[in-house]
């Protein structure tokens, strides 16, 4: 039973909540141990909250997930966990993380409530609305960044929020494209909104989100605000790593059809993982040294 609960929580998806650490890193507070610990606990809080949302989505999507080649094996879809127990788990995780967020601080609690509201809207309404479904996913990532800022009472650069939003759109549209290709004629039966997408349209959306994400990051590294804050113009040298990361993700999605799961690419593609680590190390070097 414990194993099935862990599988239902989708812990591998907790990597998405690493966005919470972005404000801490880019505010040059990484050497503040107390704040690092606080953000870490906030990461755990948000991750448990995310697991509650994942379980809720699995319950709502169970009829469609049985048609998916891999999702049909999830513990809730395959009925290794009963629907009643899954409902209990979802409510328990959401309640636990909400209470814990209140104990951390008021602004973090309000951000968690906002994330819950966005998540519920997505689960019950928005996931059926073309384009808006991906926009709401991107808003969820932006709220993660905001949560990481308010928990330690710092402001977050608008550029960071813009870059987060755009790269999240990119990931979302790539996911939709991969789902259509993988599921073929069963795509709309698995996810209703897919009947309003097609490959050509998604290729256009991916091209736009790719270009805007890359350009926004370049502008961020070159902005006067960034240069004055970090006292360096060298962040521009991290741009090739961002470009390679985006192109590598596209390659894996278009050629290997694994763009429906970003965590899978992060953990199992050596080149992508090394690129992320090198980018992160360069960021630390230019900002902190």
Q: What is the pLDDT of residues 252-278, one digit of tens each?
A: 999 887 767 777 787 788 999 999 999
H-helix segments, the chain:
2-9, 22-26, 33-60, 62-65, 83-104, 106-124, 132-150, 158-183, 187-190, 199-222, 224-230, 239-256, 262-268, 270-288
Q: What angle do CA 218, 260, 267 make, to 5 degrees?
A: 75
Is 116:98 a contact under the CB 8 Å cutoff?
yes
The pLDDT value recorded for residue 181 is 87
What gap in Å lies between CA 275 and CA 61, rounded to an integer?
Answer: 35
Q: How confident is the prediction for the chain on average, in pLDDT?
A: 89
The pLDDT value recorded for residue 185 is 65
Lowest mean pLDDT among 2-11, 67-76, 107-116: 67-76
**pLDDT digit string, tens, across residues 52-87:** 998 888 888 777 767 666 677 777 777 788 888 888
Query: Of the candidates 201, 199, 179, which has an alpha carbon nearest to the alpha carbon of residue 190?
Result: 179
The pLDDT value recorded for residue 259 is 65
What gap in Å lies between CA 138 and CA 126, rounded to an integer?
Answer: 13
Lowest mean pLDDT among 67-76, 217-226, 227-236: 67-76
**pLDDT digit string, tens, across residues 174-212:** 999 988 888 766 666 667 788 889 999 999 999 999 999
Output the six-digit token pair for 147: 């949560």
What gap in Å lies between CA 163 and CA 283, rounded to an integer?
Answer: 15
pTM for this model (two decimals): 0.91
Q: Does 58 or 95 have the greater pLDDT score?
A: 95
Is 24:36 a contact under the CB 8 Å cutoff?
yes
Lowest mean pLDDT among 100-104, 135-139, 149-153, 260-264: 260-264
Is 283:220 a contact under the CB 8 Å cutoff?
no
| Mean local confidence (pLDDT), 215-236 | 93
């Amino acid at each position: 039973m414990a194993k099935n609960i862990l599988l239902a929580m989708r812990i591998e998806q907790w990597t998405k909540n690493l966005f919470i650490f972005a404000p801490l890193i880019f505010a040059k507070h990484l050497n503040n141990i107390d704040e690092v610990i606080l953000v870490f606990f906030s990461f755990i809080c948000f991750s448990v909250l995310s697991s509650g949302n994942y379980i809720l989505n699995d319950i709502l999507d169970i009829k469609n997930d049985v048609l998916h080649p891999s999702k049909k094996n999830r513990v809730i879809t395959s009925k290794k966990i009963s629907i009643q127990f899954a409902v209990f788990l979802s409510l328990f995780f959401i309640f636990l993380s909400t209470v814990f967020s209140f104990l951390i601080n008021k602004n973090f609690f309000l951000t968690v409530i906002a994330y819950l509201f966005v998540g519920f809207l997505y689960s019950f309404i928005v996931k059926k609305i073309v384009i808006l479904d991906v926009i709401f996913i991107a808003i969820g990532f932006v709220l993660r960044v905001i949560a990481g800022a308010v928990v330690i009472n710092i402001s977050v650069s608008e550029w960071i929020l813009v870059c987060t939003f755009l790269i999240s759109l990119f990931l979302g549209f790539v996911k939709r494209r991969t789902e259509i290709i993988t599921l073929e004629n069963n795509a709309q039966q698995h996810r209703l909104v897919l009947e309003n997408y097609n490959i050509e349209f998604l290729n256009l959306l991916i091209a736009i989100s790719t270009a805007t994400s890359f350009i926004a990051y370049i502008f961020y590294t070159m902005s006067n605000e960034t240069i004055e804050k970090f006292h360096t113009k060298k962040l521009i040298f991290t741009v090739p790593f961002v470009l390679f990361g985006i192109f590598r993700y596209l390659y894996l999605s278009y050629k290997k059809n694994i763009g429906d799961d970003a965590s899978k690419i992060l953990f199992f593609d050596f080149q992508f993982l090394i690129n992320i680590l090198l980018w992160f190390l360069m960021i630390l070097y230019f900002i902190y040294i």
